A and B are shown apart, each in its own frame.
Chain A
Amino acid sequence: MASSTTSVAPARPPATPDLARRRSSAGARGERRSGLAMAAPAAILLGLFLIVPVLLAFGLSFTNARLISPNPPRFVGLDNFIRAFTQDPVFLRSVLNTFLFAIVVVPVQAGLGLLLAVLVNQKLRGVTFFRIVYFIPVVTSIVVVSILWKFMYQPTGLINSFIDTMTFGVLQGADWLNNPRTALPAIIVLSIWQAVGFHMLIWLSGLQTIPGELYEAARMDGADAWAQFKNVTWPGLRSTMIFVLVTITISALGLFVQIDVMTQGGPQNSTTTIVYHAVRKGYREQETGYGAAISLIFFVLVLVIALVQRFVTREKD
C-alpha cells in the first residue's frame, strides 16, 4: 500500500509515517461509513421483516391477541401452550401427522434422490436430458402440482384407472383423498414426486466432488460396483448428506400448500399439519396469539431437529 501510494504521486515528497497514518485512518473512516451505508438497506429490511416477526412470535404467543380487535392484546402467560398440549386434540393430531409425513418423506426422498443422482452421474449419452426431465416438477409450482394430483386421485381418475388396467381389475383403487387411511400417503407420494429432483441435483454436485482416481484405485483393487459405492462414494458424501437431510426435514415439517389445496386438513383431520393448523387458528379464526404459539412450537421443533441431525450425523465419524 505504502509503496504504491508513492508511485501514483511521484511529484510529492515520500509520505511521512505520520501522514500515512492520518490518511489510512481517514480511509478507515470512509470504509466504516461506506460499509454501514451499503449494508443498511438489507439490514433494515431484515430487521423489519425477519427479526421483528420472530420477536413477535415470542411476544404474541403469551397473549390473547386477535388479528382484528378493538381491545389491545392481554398477557395470558402460558395459557396458549397449555391449551395446545392439553385441550386441543386437533393440534396433537397435527403434530402426529406432520411427524408421520416427515418420517416417510425424509428417508425416501433422500434415498430416491441419491439413486437418481447416481444414475445421471454416469458418463452416458443423454444423461443431461434425464437430469432436466427429473427437475421439471421442481420448477412447477406446488399449487399446480397439488391441483393436478387431486384430479388424478379422483375415484374415476387416472391413478385408479391405471391400477385397474395394470392388475386386470383384480385390485380396486380407493377414493384416495376422502379416506382417512389413504389421504396422507397419497399426499406423501406427490410431495416426493415434486421435490426429489431438487435433491438429486444436490447429491449430484456432491458426487462430482469425489475425485475419479479414487474409483480407479478401487477398481484396481478389484472392488465391484457395490463395494465402490460403499467405500468410495458414500464416505465422500458426508457433508452433502447432512445438507440434504436437514433441508428435506425442515421443508417436510412445513407442509402446508398440498393440504390447503387438496384436503383442507380432512378427512377427519387425518391430514391436518402443524402449519395448516397454525394458519387455521391464527389467521382464519383470527386467534393470532394462539397461532403464534403454534408457530413458536414449530420453530423450536425445526431448530431442535436441525441441531440433533447435525450432531448425530457428525458423531458417526
Chain B
Amino acid sequence: MATITAPSSRQLDRTERQQRRRRNVWSYLAMALFAVIFLFPMVFMFISSLKPDAQILSDVRSLNAFLPVGDLSLDNYRDVFDRVPVARFMINSVLITTLIVVLGLVVNSMCGFALSRLEWKGRGAVLAVVIATLIVPFETIAIPMVYWVSKLPTLVFEGGVPKYDFGWLNTYQVQIIPFIANAFSIFLFTQYFSTIPKSLDEAARIDGAGWFTIYRKIVVPLAGPAFATVAILTFLPAWNSYLWPLMVVQEENLRPVMVGMQYFFQLNPAWGEVMAYTTLITLPVLIVFLSFQRAFVSSVAASGVKG
C-alpha cells in the first residue's frame, strides 16, 4: 500500500516518477471509494428526509435514493414538530450540554492546576484516583449510579416553600452534575499545565498574586488549546448521551434529543419523518464540527497521547 513519500531533494529518475504517479492514482481511487462508503448513508438520510415514504421506497432501487429529485418538501419536518416537542428536546440538550461543558472546564481545570503546580495534602490520592479511573467505562457504574441518585437528597419547592426530598430521578441536575468532574479532562489539564513554566508563578507570587489569580490571569490564558480539547471531548458525549437519560428521565419535557428520538421512533412514524428528526439533531453537531474541524482533529490526536 502507499506510504509517506516526503519529497526529496535528489533528482528522481523517470521510472521512479512514473511509479509515484501510478501510486497516487491508486491512492486517490482508494480514498474516493472510502469517501463514498462514509458519506452515502448520511446523504441518503438527508435526501430521504425531504421525500414522502412511497417515493423513498421506490427510489431505493436506483441512484435516485441519493438525489434530490421527485416530490420534495419539508412536510416531514413539519410533521416531526407536530408530533413531538422536538424544540423542547433541543433546548434541553443545549442547556444540559452547555452546563456540562462550561462547568466542567472550570472545575476540571482548577483541579488540574492544583495537581500540576501546587503541593498540598491529598494531592497524591486525588492524582491516583484520576489515573486509576481513566479507563473505567461509564457502563460499568450506570446501574449502581441509578440506585445512588434515586437516594440523593434534593430541594423541591412546594407552593414556593423549599423542602427536602429524596431522589434525583426526573430532574435536570441528574443529567448534569454527575458529568461535570471528569478524570480524563483533569488528566489532560494536568498534563498541559505542567508544560507551562513554573517561573511565571514565582514571579507573580513575588508581586503578591494569590494562587487563584495566577490560575486565572497567567495559566488559563496560556492554555487555550487544552481548553478547546476538553470542550470538544466533553461536548460530543454530552450531546450524544443516551443510556443515562434513558434510565433517569421519564418526564417528556425533561428529555434530551437522543432519548426523545427513541421515544418518537416508538410512535411508529413514517421513515421520512424519522430521517427528518435524525437530520435535525445531527445538523447542529455537523455544523460545529465543520466550523472547528481543525480543533476537533487536534483534540482527538491529543486524546491519544496518553497511550
Contacts and interface: CB of A to CB of B under 8 A. Distances in A.
B206 A298 contact: no
A95 interface: no
Contacts of B39: 133, 136
A134 B39 CA distance: 8
Interface in B235-264: 236, 239-240, 242-243, 246-247, 258, 261-262
A48 B180 CA distance: 11
A302 interface: yes
A230 B182 CA distance: 38
A41 B202 CA distance: 25
B31 A130 contact: yes
Nearest to B144: A56
Contact of B137 (A32, A48, A152, A302): A302
A interface: dominant SS = helix
B300 to A, nearest CB: 4
Nearest to A130: B31
Contacts of B114: 34-36, 38-39
A81 interface: no
B178 interface: yes
A38 B6 CA distance: 47
A278 B301 CA distance: 33
Given A39-B120, A225-B2, A282-B143, A136 B289 contact: yes
Contacts, number: 337
Category for how many chain A residues contact B: 35 or more
A121 interface: yes
A133 B35 CA distance: 6
B267 interface: no
Interface of B: 1-8, 23-24, 27-28, 30-31, 34-35, 37-39, 41-42, 44-45, 48, 57, 60-61, 65, 107-108, 110-111, 113-115, 118-123, 126, 129-130, 133, 135-137, 139-148, 150, 177-181, 183, 186, 202-203, 205-207, 210-212, 215, 236, 239-240, 242-243, 246-247, 258, 261-262, 265, 271, 274-275, 278, 281-282, 285-286, 289-290, 293, 296-297, 300-301, 303-307
21 contacts: A1-B206, A4-B202, A27-B205, A30-B210, A39-B111, A41-B181, A42-B180, A43-B129, A45-B178, A46-B129, A65-B147, A123-B4, A137-B42, A157-B60, A202-B300, A205-B304, A254-B137, A257-B242, A260-B242, A283-B146, A295-B141
Interface of A: 1, 4-5, 8, 27-28, 30-36, 38-39, 41-46, 48-54, 56-57, 60, 65, 67-68, 115-116, 118-124, 127, 130-137, 139-145, 147-149, 151-152, 156-158, 161, 164-165, 193, 197-198, 201-202, 204-207, 210, 212, 215-216, 219, 225-226, 228-229, 233, 239-240, 242-244, 246, 250-251, 253-254, 256-257, 260-261, 275, 278-279, 282-283, 288, 291-292, 294-296, 298-299, 302-303, 306
